[in-house]
Structure 1
Amino acid sequence: MRAYRLLACFLIVTALCPPLSAVPAAAQTPVDLELVLAVDVSGSVDPDEAKLQRNGYVQALLNPRVQAAIRGGPFGRVAATYMEWAGEGHQHVVVPWTELSDPASIERFAAVVAEAPMMTEQWTSISAAIDRAVPLFDTNGFEGTRRVIDLSGDGENNRGRPVEEARDAAVARGITINGLPILNDRPNPWGGAAPNDLEGYYRDHVIGGPGAFLVPARNFDAFADAILSKLLLEVSGVMPDGRTARDLVAR
């Protein structure tokens, strides 16, 4: 008799409890854009240049036009994370995924970027940076109408798998990669020659996906203007004519 009671209880509980597959997943916050800011801190970027890059992102985020663009989308918010990268083994998430929707949230994000310790490593693995950025979208708690990796750097891929393979894998998942090549004619600290045509390299081998474009910076001093233009285009969803955006955002 006791066995029959236990079986009856089991059948009742089974009927009342839905299978795990039927339990709804946790709701994700809708945003206009999921954005990975992926910034080169390889050995060819000296401490002053690394600081110029950081300051460029901070100033762009604090710019009223960028903040207005963030609030101007259908949802009025974007999700962003800030990652610095170098060789195959160095991809450091400086600021985790954060909802940016009002001046206070944007300023907090910018402050963490500005105040985080600076780290650099040798080599330049654009492919490893892309491969690290892609899974960041999977469990970030946001659902964007667009997914973008904003990748800036001053050199070509010299470690890891071919960058085209990483790019194509990201694009196959619906992710767009935009580029900000920092054009630089000085040799790297180990005597290697500077890239002959970094803008062309980024255009042909790095960027990809719907609406992909690049905004070249003439040098590190011009980085702040370039990232401002690039963020305005990315946040607003504007697709420039062609694959290179030059002076499309009037200051």
Structure 2
Amino acid sequence: MKAPVISRALAVVAALVALHAAAQPLCRQALALGLDVSGSVDSREYRLQLDGLATALGDPDVTAALLAQPGLPVRLAVYEWSEPGDERLVLPWTDINTPADIAFVQTRLNTTQRADMGPSTGIGSALRTGFALLAQQDSCWVRTLDISGDGKGNTGQLPQDVTNMPPGVTVNALVIGVDGSVTATNRNLQIGELTAYYKTNVLRGPDAFVETALSFDAYAEAMRRKLLRELATIVLGDITLQ
């Protein structure tokens, strides 16, 4: 007498699994980008960061990498972060299937205006926000979090103590140097120290890496290099692996 009940239960489970699969189509890579908008980032640098990301996405080689596998899109999300509790989603998860999708993301970035957010730098909170976003994308083959920043964490949970990372996620970073008015020697020392900090405390995953921009003026080119490295593919027969 219990067999029909079990069968119905299994049917319900199967239906739920099917609904989840329908709601979460496969994607090649989920890429969440967290942009530092703390007090050390002025209004000009803010625009260089968002517009620089838009420019990098429009680079022909980046566009080709994004569109390399029709039917298996890269899925992008972009958020801003400063101190704990001040995180803002600029671009919700968006599948990149066509050049029009890239143009949509570029327009969103180019037209986003700065919000009123706290001055301090909560990298731990930025990581938690990125991990929560990537936890929504368990149907993607690869899940990557990018954290851009021009300084060390100085408030909230230490980045090395954040533990809510979903399995298999990689955390990369883009370190931005101080304003170009300083001497080259001082700038290189600052970038070297900040790069070491991110390598020790922020990066996760065996292939994680840090890209560097000498200043916000160099952000677009540094982002282009980073995206090309992250989106690089290896083709084996009919299967593309990241």
The two structures have a TM-score, normalised by structure 2, of 0.82
Select the residue among 176, 194, 198 that pairs with 1:182: 176
CA RMSD of aligned residues (A): 2.6
Please name the residue that 1:128 is paired with. 125
Please name the residue that 1:23 is paired with. 15
Note the residue ranges of structure 2 that are not aligned, 5 or more in a row.
183-189, 235-242
**Cα distance change on mapping 1:13 and 1:117 into 2, 3 Å:** farther
SS at match of 2:155: coil
Rounded Cα–Cα distance in structure 2 between residues aligned with 1:14 and 1:182: 60
> Residue by residue, what CA displacement relative to the aligned partner does 1:59-105 show, whole Å, maximum 9, x if unpaired?
01111211100122485420010100000011111110000121001
Q: CA deviation at 1:184?
A: 1.2
Q: Which moved more, 1:23-32 or 1:37-46?
A: 23-32
Question: Are 1:222 and 2:222 counterparts?
Answer: no
Please name the residue that 2:105 is paired with. 109
Rounded Cα–Cα distance in structure 1 between residues aligned with 2:191 and 2:214: 13
Bigger proportion of residues as strand: 2
Q: How does 1:153-232 map to 2 (within 5 A)?
A: 153-166=149-162, 169-170=164-165, 173-184=167-178, 197-232=193-228
Q: CA deviation at 1:24?
A: 3.5
Question: Are 1:53 and 2:49 counterparts?
Answer: yes
Question: Are 1:143 and 2:139 counterparts?
Answer: yes
**Cα distance change on mapping 1:226 and 1:73 into 2, 3 Å:** same
**Cα distance change on mapping 1:180 and 1:12 into 2, 3 Å:** closer
Rounded Cα–Cα distance in structure 1 between residues aligned with 2:229 and 2:128: 24
Q: Count how many residue pairs are aligned between Structure 1 and Structure 2.
A: 220
Write the letter of the residue equivalent to 1:217.
Answer: A
Please name the residue that 2:40 is paired with. 44
Note the residue ranges of structure 1 that are not aligned, 5 or more in a row.
1-7, 188-193, 239-251
> Residue by residue, what CA displacement relative to the aligned partner does 1:183-235 show, whole Å, maximum 9, x if unpaired?
11689xxxxxx787111111111111131011011111111110000011111
| Structure 2 contact 70–97 (Cα < 8 Å) conserved | no
Q: CA deviation at 1:14?
A: 4.8
Q: CA deviation at 1:116?
A: 1.8
Rounded Cα–Cα distance in structure 1 between residues aligned with 2:75 and 2:206: 19
> Residue by residue, what CA displacement relative to the aligned partner does 1:134-189 show, whole Å, maximum 9, x if unpaired?
1112335x6221100011010101111111122x542x6211000001011689xx
Rounded Cα–Cα distance in structure 2 between residues aligned with 1:211 and 1:179: 12
**Cα distance change on mapping 1:217 and 1:15 into 2, 3 Å:** closer
Write the letter of the residue equivalent to 1:23.
Answer: A
Rounded Cα–Cα distance in structure 2 between residues aligned with 1:237 and 1:211: 14
Select the residue among 48, 54, 72 that pairs with 2:68: 72
Please tell me whether Structure 1 or Structure 2 has the larger radius of gyration of its CA atoms.
1
**Cα distance change on mapping 1:97 and 1:162 into 2, 3 Å:** same
| Structure 2 contact 175–191 (Cα < 8 Å) conserved | no
Select the residue among 229, 235, 239 that pairs with 1:233: 229
Rounded Cα–Cα distance in structure 2 between residues aligned with 1:75 and 1:200: 38
Rounded Cα–Cα distance in structure 2 between residues aligned with 1:237 and 1:200: 27
Q: CA deviation at 1:41?
A: 0.3
Rounded Cα–Cα distance in structure 1 between residues aligned with 2:6 and 2:206: 47
Q: How does 1:81-96 map to 2 (within 5 A)?
A: 81-96=77-92
